[in-house]
Structures are given as structure tokens and as C-alpha cells.
């Protein structure tokens, strides 16, 4: 029954995320090739927001509203229109409007509706501003992070477009677009090393490896799927081939790869290092921007993801919803550090989160991590 209920929503979500990934890829290529600083701003918390963030949010909002009716949907998303609406941001807004219209012009190739005429500034701002719902325990809420891992995006490394649907506090659809994720299994580490040394090379020589994928799932399906991104207008054919993905079968800590955020401000690296030693993890941590860490678990490229944010930090639902469901339906386990499921019923924050987030490919590793957290927590400096 659930499959029938959410089939349209999943179909539209996968298609619009695919469009959004191509938009991001185009904007990122321009940023890296020109080193321009007029395509992004700093928000009040000093985190960056770019043309891509606003453009993806406007595009997804417009498509969802046209498909399901603007009066019938609730969208919870990261960006607002305050900065973009200021007079000094007129040039930035113009770039966003152009980017959105360029993306929406390709919508029919994905079986989606495009505007009868180009959207104007007010219509784009309206689409972005429409994503101001607060979520909550009742009803359906789309949850969007237009560019998760904006620092990774700006550095030419990993980032993601994340779209989920929450129905009565349960995540029922998860779609994660990863434009820079290598198609080949276990190439994420090589890819990150390459981007660190030569971030421009994948764009000038895209045949070096196939990169970019969409992962998607539906609650209760016990399946997670992955399809490659198309490369260039000449290959813009829908639908794309998809294949099942599954979490790793590794349960020996000595063989496991664990992921954590890149920035120390986003997770306590020293605490996770202590946990790794306690559990018997021998590999160096794979530090990756964005929800790509969840994708790595779901695809079987890594076995563990740990995040322990600084005291007082509140995790946002758009940073976890799509990734959590993907890992779960691919056979993995995701809880807070106390072993409890993440609670998506409290609005835009994961209220009541116990210490941090732990995602594992299986129950055996998960139990070891949770036990280590309890044993180590009192002596930590968190």
C-alpha cells in the first residue's frame, strides 16, 4: 500500500534532484574555473551560501508546487530570501534567476513540467520563500537541503542535494544526489585525494572516471537504488539505468572504514579517534563533506559514520533525513549515540538527540560503537 501511496512522490523527487545535480555541476564548474567571489555570500553564522543553494531551492520548490499544488505542500528547507532580497544583492539575484530558468528549461527531458515563460525575480524569490515550513509531528513535509556541504562544493570536493518526504514524523522517501561521487565502488578515497591536489582536472577531463549518482529509496521497501548522473546535454536521456545498492557485510572493526565530517567544528575528531581506538578501528578516518557520508554507508564504500557536534549545536532534519532512510533501507542501522532512533517529529531540529549520530552497516559494529560511547563519554571533553 505504501508503494502505491508514495510512488508519484518518489518519481518526481528523483527527477528533480537529478536536475538539481546538473545545475550544481554547472555552477561549480564556473566557480572553480573563474575563482569568482560574486556567486556566494556568508550567512549570519558565517557559513557560505551560493547561487547553487538558492537556485536549487527555487527549482525544487517550483517543481513540487506545480506537481502537487502550492496550497497542498509543506517544504522545510535551509535557505531564506533575506540576503538575496537586499538591494546590494541584485546581481546575485539576477544570476539565480538565470540559473533557475536554465535548469527548468530542461524539465521536459525529465518528464516534468517547465514554466510557460521564464520566471521573473519575484517568482524565484517566492519559490525560495515558500520553503519556510516548520515541519512537525503531523502531515506531510518535504525536507530539502539544496547544497549540503557548501564548503565541499566551493572546494570542488564532495557535496549533496538532499530531498526527503516526512509523513507523520516518519521519513518515507529519501533521495540523495551526489554530483562528485565516483561511480566505481571504493573510489571515494582516491577521488578525495585527487580533488585535494587537482580540483580542476575532473572538469577538464571528465572521462577520467564516471562520477555523479542519485541514491533513492522508499520506507519499507528494504531496497536502495542508485543511478548515474547524465553527463552533458548530448547524453541527457531519461530514465537512466539504476541498480540496487547494499551496505557492506564487514563486521570486523579492523577492516572497517569510518567517516566523519571534515571540519573539527562540526564534530569532535579527538573523541571519535578515541572511540576508534577503543573499538579497534585501524584505518584512518575518511573525512568527507556532506551527506555523502550516508551515501558511502548505503553503497558499501564505508562501514561507520560518527558525528559528535559541539555542545549546544542542534542538528537540522535536512542534514539527516534522506541519508538516514537510505542507510536503513540498504540494510544499515542509524541511531543517536544512546542507541535511540532519530526523532523527526519536533520540527526543523532533531530535538532530544543523545550526544551524537552513529550510522553503521550492521548491528554488530553499531553495538560496539554505542558501547564505546557509554564507556568513553564521562572522560571526554565534550
Give pLDDT, residue 368. 95
d(CA 229, CA 243): 13
- With residue 217 as reference, give the H or E element that holds it: strand 211-218
How many CB atoms are located within 10 Å of the residue 129 CB?
17
Q: Which domains does the chain have, with CATH numbers?
A: 2-245 (3.30.540.10), 253-379 (3.40.190.80)
| 148 labelled ligand-binding | yes
d(CA 248, CA 332): 9
| 336 labelled ligand-binding | no
pTM of the model: 0.91
Strand duo 243-245 + 140-148: pairing: unpaired
Helix (H, G, I), strand (E, B) or coil at 347: coil
84: cell is: 538575496
List the chain pLDDT tens, one digit each, 382 residues: 445 789 999 999 999 999 999 999 999 888 766 555 455 555 544 457 899 999 999 999 999 999 999 888 999 998 889 889 999 989 999 999 999 999 999 999 999 999 999 999 999 999 999 999 999 999 999 999 999 999 999 888 899 999 999 999 999 999 999 999 987 766 776 666 665 555 544 444 444 556 899 999 999 999 999 999 986 554 455 556 899 999 999 999 999 999 999 887 788 898 999 999 999 999 989 999 999 999 999 999 999 999 998 888 899 999 999 999 999 999 999 999 999 999 999 999 999 999 899 999 999 999 999 999 988 876 444 4
Long-range contacts made by residues 206-212, C-beta under 8 angstroms, separation at least 24? 206/231, 209/182, 209/183, 209/184, 210/182, 210/183, 210/184, 211/179, 211/180, 211/181, 211/182, 211/183, 212/21, 212/25, 212/178, 212/179, 212/180, 212/181, 212/183
Q: Known catalytic residue: 252?
A: no
Give the active site residue among 59, 67, 150, 335.
150
Q: Known catalytic residue: 150?
A: yes
Give pLDDT, residue 240. 65
| 233 labelled ligand-binding | no
d(CA 253, CA 325): 24
Q: Kindly compute the dihedral angle of the four CA atoms of residues 19, 24, 25, 28, in this order, to the nearest 10 degrees.
A: 170
Nearest Cα neighbor of 260 from 296, 226, 224 is 296
Structural contact between residues 281 and 258, judged by C-beta atoms closer than 8 angstroms: yes
Handedness of CA 201, 202, 206, 209 (dihedral sign): positive
| 303 labelled ligand-binding | no
Amino acid at each position: 500500500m505504501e508503494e502505491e501511496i508514495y510512488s508519484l512522490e518518489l518519481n518526481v523527487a528523483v527527477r528533480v534532484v537529478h536536475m538539481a545535480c546538473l545545475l550544481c555541476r554547472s555552477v561549480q564548474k564556473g566557480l572553480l574555473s573563474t575563482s569568482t567571489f560574486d556567486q556566494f555570500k556568508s550567512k549570519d553564522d558565517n557559513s557560505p551560501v551560493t547561487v547553487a543553494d538558492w537556485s536549487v531551492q527555487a527549482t525544487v520548490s517550483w517543481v513540487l508546487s506545480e506537481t502537487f499544488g502550492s496550497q497542498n505542500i509543506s517544504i522545510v528547507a535551509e535557505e531564506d530570501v533575506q540576503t538575496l532580497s537586499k538591494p546590494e544583492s541584485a546581481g546575485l539575484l539576477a544570476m539565480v534567476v538565470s540559473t533557475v530558468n536554465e535548469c527548468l528549461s530542461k524539465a521536459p527531458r525529465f518528464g516534468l513540467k517547465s514554466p510557460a515563460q521564464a520566471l521573473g525575480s519575484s517568482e524565484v524569490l517566492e519559490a525560495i520563500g515558500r520553503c519556510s515550513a516548520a515541519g512537525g509531528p503531523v502531515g506531510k513535509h518535504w525536507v530539502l537541503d539544496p547544497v549540503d556541504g557548501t564548503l565541499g562544493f566551493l572546494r570542488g570536493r564532495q557535496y549533496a542535494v538532499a530531498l526527503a518526504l516526512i509523513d507523520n514524523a516518519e521519513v518515507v522517501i529519501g533521495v540523495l544526489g551526489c554530483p562528485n561521487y565516483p561511480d566505481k565502488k571504493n573510489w571515494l578515497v582516491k577521488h578525495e585525494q585527487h580533488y585535494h591536489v587537482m580540483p580542476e582536472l575532473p572538469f577538464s577531463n571528465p572521462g577520467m572516471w564516471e562520477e555523479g549518482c542519485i541514491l533513492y529509496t522508499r520506507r519499507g521497501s528494504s531496497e536502495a537504488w542508485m543511478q548515474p548522473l547524465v553527463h552533458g546535454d548530448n547524453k541527457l536521456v531519461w530514465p537512466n539505468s539504476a541498480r540496487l545498492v547494499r551496505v557492506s557485510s564487514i563486521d570486523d572493526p579492523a577492516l572497517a572504514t569510518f567517516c566523519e565530517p571534515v571540519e573539527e567544528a562540526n564534530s569532535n575528531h579527538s573523541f571519535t579517534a578515541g572511540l576508534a581506538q577503543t573499538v579497534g578501528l585501524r584505518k584512518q578516518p575518511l573525512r568527507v563533506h556532506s551527506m555523502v557520508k550516508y551515501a558511502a554507508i548505503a553503497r558499501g564504500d564505508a562501514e561507520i559514520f560518527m558525528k559528535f557536534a559541539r555542545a549546544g549545536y542542534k542538528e537540522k532534519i535536512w542534514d539527516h533525513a534522506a541519508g538516514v532512510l537510505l542507510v536503513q533501507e540498504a540494510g544499515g542501522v542509524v541511531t543517536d549515540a544512546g542507541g535511540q532512533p532519530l526523532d523527526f517529529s519536533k520540527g526543523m531540529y532533531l530535538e532530544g538527540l543523545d550526544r551524537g549520530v552513529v550510522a553503521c552497516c550492521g548491528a554488530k559494529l553499531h553495538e560496539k560503537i554505542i558501547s564505546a560511547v557509554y564507556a568513553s563519554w564521562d572522560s571526554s571533553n565534550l
